[in-house]
């Protein structure tokens, strides 16, 4: 057993029913809505591909969001080249209170357990297992690259509200406005009974200025480690949705059409992975489909990690949108002149 396989065994159970299909359905983003990762999980059986996934942005919106990131980085740092920016972000040349001396970005987490009586009332141990899973996944301990992002549980509260619990999408606004704490750099993570067609949904960092009160991630409580939603019960629904919160798009964004997700080292992918389709290569561009990537839709047991490029994207998006020093002025990271910049989302 490799080190990564051993880590997976420690943080998550082996999922029963992994031969059943996982379906994440395509869709559009509703105006003012949150990004939804539609993970099908109804008793481990296949779901139809009709559930709406608002995190599938469509070419126009994905391109616009990548362009907004490019403009924001260029305005703040004088370059939009993530490879040029990254050494300064990692070394702390531009200090961020959320960044430790080691260069790791530490994200404070406000965990909100929404339940209905005893249903969905997660234990503290269950919450701590989810945080441990986040740190293993984003730390590269499950087989992928270390994104240099870590998560710290700052608070845990429980709210007994049957309506919010059963219909978190319908009551997203009032629930978040009542429970949300912190600023742009605080992850508010909610658990409730999201459903079987979709298991979680999230906002993107570009949307924070639209309505800060809606910022955050909601996942189904049954998708946490050792939950009942096999084969989606390793805690990777939260890993996936928090990826959106940190600025990552789906690996299959745009199919085989440029710019895809705008990350150079995630191969193009025509459609979401279901189950664990080993060796699949659905696009003519170089590289097999990234079915093991946390931003795809494979079974939790099939997911392993992020790429180095996704780590750079997360750190760049944090500097642009979630850092406490986010503002309209230019910072000095010792970067190259704007004319030498390589654009975010350039040809891959």
Whether 288 contacts 279, CB under 8 Å: yes
Whether 294 contacts 236, CB under 8 Å: yes
Going by C-alpha positions, the residue among 156, 157, 162, 179 that lies closest to residue 117 is: 162
- Candidate list 7, 82, 172, 241, residue with the active-site label: 241
What would the two tokens of residue 180 be? 């949300």
CA separation for the pair 316, 318 (Å, rounded) = 5
Query: SS3 for 338?
Result: helix
For residue 32, CA distances in Å to 26, 102, 180 come to 18, 37, 18
Question: How many residues in the chain?
Answer: 348
Strands (E), the chain: 35-37, 105-115, 149-160, 187-192, 200-202, 217-220
Name the DSSP letter for residue 228.
S
User: Does a cis peptide bond (omega within 30 degrees of 0) precede residue 208?
Assistant: no
Residue 241 is a catalytic residue: yes
Burial of 143 (0-12, 13-18, 19+ CB in 10 A): middle
Going by C-alpha positions, the residue among 321, 323, 240, 337 that lies closest to residue 65 is: 321
Residues with catalytic function: 241
């Amino acid at each position: 057993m490799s080190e990564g396989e051993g880590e997976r065994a420690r943080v998550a159970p082996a999922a029963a029913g992994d031969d059943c299909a996982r379906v994440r359905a395509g869709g559009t983003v509703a105006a003012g809505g949150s990004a939804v990762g539609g993970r099908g999980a109804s008793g481990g059986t296949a779901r139809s591909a009709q559930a709406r996934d608002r995190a599938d942005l469509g070419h126009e919106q994905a391109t616009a969001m990548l362009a907004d990131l490019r403009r924001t980085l260029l305005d703040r740092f004088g370059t939009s080249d993530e490879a040029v920016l990254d050494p300064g972000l990692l070394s702390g040349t531009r200090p961020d209170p959320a960044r430790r001396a080691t260069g790791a970005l530490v994200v404070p987490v406000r965990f909100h357990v929404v339940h209905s009586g005893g249903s969905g009332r997660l234990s503290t141990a269950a919450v701590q297992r989810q945080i441990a899973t986040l740190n293993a996944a984003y730390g590269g301990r499950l087989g992928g690259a270390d994104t240099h992002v870590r998560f710290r549980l700052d608070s845990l509260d429980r709210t007994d509200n049957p309506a919010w619990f059963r219909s978190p999408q319908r009551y997203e606004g009032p629930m978040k406005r009542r429970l949300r704490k912190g600023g742009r750099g605080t992850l508010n993570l909610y658990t409730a009974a999201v459903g079987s067609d979709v298991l979680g949904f999230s906002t993107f960092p570009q949307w924070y200025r639209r309505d800060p009160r809606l910022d955050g991630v909601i996942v189904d409580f049954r998708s946490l480690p050792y939950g009942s939603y096999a084969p989606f019960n390793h805690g990777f629904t939260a890993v996936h949705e928090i990826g959106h919160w940190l600025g990552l798009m789906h690996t299959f964004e745009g199919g085989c059409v440029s710019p895809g997700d705008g990350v150079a080292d995630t191969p193009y992918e025509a459609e979401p992975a279901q189950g664990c389709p080993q060796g699949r290569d659905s696009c003519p561009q170089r590289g097999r489909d990234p079915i093991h990537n946390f931003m795809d839709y494979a079974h939790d047991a099939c997911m392993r990690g992020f790429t180095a490029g996704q780590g750079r994207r997360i750190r760049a998006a944090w500097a642009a949108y979630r850092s406490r020093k986010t503002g309209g002025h230019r910072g000095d990271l010792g970067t190259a002149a704007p004319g030498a910049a390589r654009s975010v989302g350039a040809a891959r």
